[in-house]
């Protein structure tokens, strides 16, 4: 159970940052994971009054505020058209609609949870995070950073020409995933993001150009082997390391074929 001493609806990012700098203060979103923890929060800081619950779009990018819910991105037609419904597919099995109406994109990305479908799919896109003090940095860089007291303002997805596909394996629907996988091709470079391994998602690029000139069963299988050989896995109650390594090959192959329209 979480105990909160003070609750503040911040009226500016600067106020939120100053409050969050204090020991035992926390930014809160949907409170869906925080409430499962067992600690004391001196000041809970709510960003609801800062207009960060919008998905904005222009010719170059999508800008997704940190307080946008998972349900919002699930239903956004333009975002899902751009990602071939990969965003929708990544969140549709996260608990239920009531949960997705409350859980925020910012909370999912900031938490860098090992089980995060959301982190996995955004990692495969041409995506960035905007931090209040840290500025705009690639999501792939943010994933490797230690948590600090900065504030995640928004997630930015560039409208780079892309093919993308997402899939996951669960022991039962709405359960935490056994493995998550998103693949994409951006500017001719194929990528695979693998999460729930069970650690946080990591991104592998086709630096050896396995798929660059030839999309065939052999090259796809070779790339799937390359990804599985470079993504460490471990065991937990949902699956063994060996099973997860096998699933990497299966999901990468499935996603690439889906992207390329290969049956």
pLDDT score at 235: 97
Joined together, the tokens standing for residue 130 give 């905007």
Q: What pLDDT, on the 0 to 100 scale, is given for residue 123? A: 97
Note the pLDDT tens digit of each residue in 29-65: 876 666 666 678 899 999 999 999 999 999 999 999 9
pLDDT band at 124 (very low <50, low <70, confident <90, very high): very high
Q: pLDDT, tens digit, for every residue of 238-253?
A: 999 999 999 999 999 9
pLDDT in tens, 71-91: 999 999 999 999 999 999 999
Does residue 103 have a cis bond before it (omega within 30 degrees)?
Answer: no
Mean pLDDT of 113-138: 96
* CB environment 92-116: b (16+ within 10 A), e (fewer): bbbbeeebbeebbbbbbbbbbbbbb
What is the pLDDT, as a whole number, of residue 79? Answer: 97
Q: Give 159's pLDDT tier (boundaries 50, 70, 90).
A: very high
Provide, rounded to the nearest whole percent, the portion of the chain with pLDDT above 70.
97
Q: Give, in degrees to the nearest 5, the angle at Cα 162 between 167 and 95.
A: 30
The pLDDT confidence band at residue 4, using thresholds 50, 70 and 90, is confident
> According to the model, what pLDDT value does residue 66 have?
97
Q: ∠252-262-233 over CA atoms, to 5°?
A: 5
Q: Please name the helix (run of DSSP H) or strand (run of DSSP E) that holds residue 164, with its range, or none.
A: strand 162-170
Distance CA(185)–CA(166), nearest Å, equals 13
Mean pLDDT in residue range 164-171: 96
So what's the pLDDT on residue 32? 67
Contacts of 233 (CB under 8 A, 6+ apart): 197, 198, 241, 242, 244, 245, 248
Query: What is the arithmetic mean of pLDDT over 222-245?
Result: 96
Instruction: Decide if 138 contacts 104 (C-beta within 8 A).
Output: no
Q: What is the pLDDT of residue 81?
A: 97
Q: How many CA atoms lie within 13 A of 160 on its CB side?
A: 17
Residue 195 tokens read as 């999460």
**HSE-up (13 A, CA, CB side) for residue 145:** 17
Tens of pLDDT, residue by residue over 12-26, are 999 999 999 998 899
């Amino acid at each position: 159970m979480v105990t909160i001493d003070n609750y503040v609806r911040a009226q500016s990012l600067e106020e939120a940052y100053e409050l969050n700098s204090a020991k035992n203060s926390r930014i809160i979103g949907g409170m869906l994971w925080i409430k499962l923890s067992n600690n004391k929060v001196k000041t809970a800081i709510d960003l609801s009054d800062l207009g960060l619950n919008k998905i904005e779009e222009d010719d170059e990018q999508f800008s997704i505020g940190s307080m946008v819910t998972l349900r919002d991105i699930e239903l956004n037609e333009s975002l899902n058209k751009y990602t071939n419904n990969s965003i929708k597919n990544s969140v549709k099995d996260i608990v239920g609609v009531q949960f997705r109406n409350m859980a925020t994109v910012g909370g999912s990305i900031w938490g860098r949870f090992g089980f995060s479908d959301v982190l996995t799919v955004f990692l495969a896109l041409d995506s960035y995070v905007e931090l209040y003090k840290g500025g705009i940095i690639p999501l792939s860089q943010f994933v490797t950073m230690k948590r600090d007291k900065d504030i995640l303002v928004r997630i930015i997805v560039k409208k780079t020409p892309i093919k993308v596909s997402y899939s996951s394996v669960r022991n039962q629907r709405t359960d935490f995933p056994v493995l998550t996988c998103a693949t994409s091709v951006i500017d001719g470079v194929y990528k695979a993001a693998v999460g729930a391994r069970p650690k946080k998602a990591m991104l592998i690029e086709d630096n050896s150009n396995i798929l660059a000139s030839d999309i065939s069963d052999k090259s796809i299988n070779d790339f799937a082997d390359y990804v599985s050989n470079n993504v460490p896995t471990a065991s937990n109650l949902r699956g063994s390391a060996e099973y997860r390594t096998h699933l990497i090959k299966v999901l990468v192959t499935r996603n690439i074929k889906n992207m390329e329209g290969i049956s």
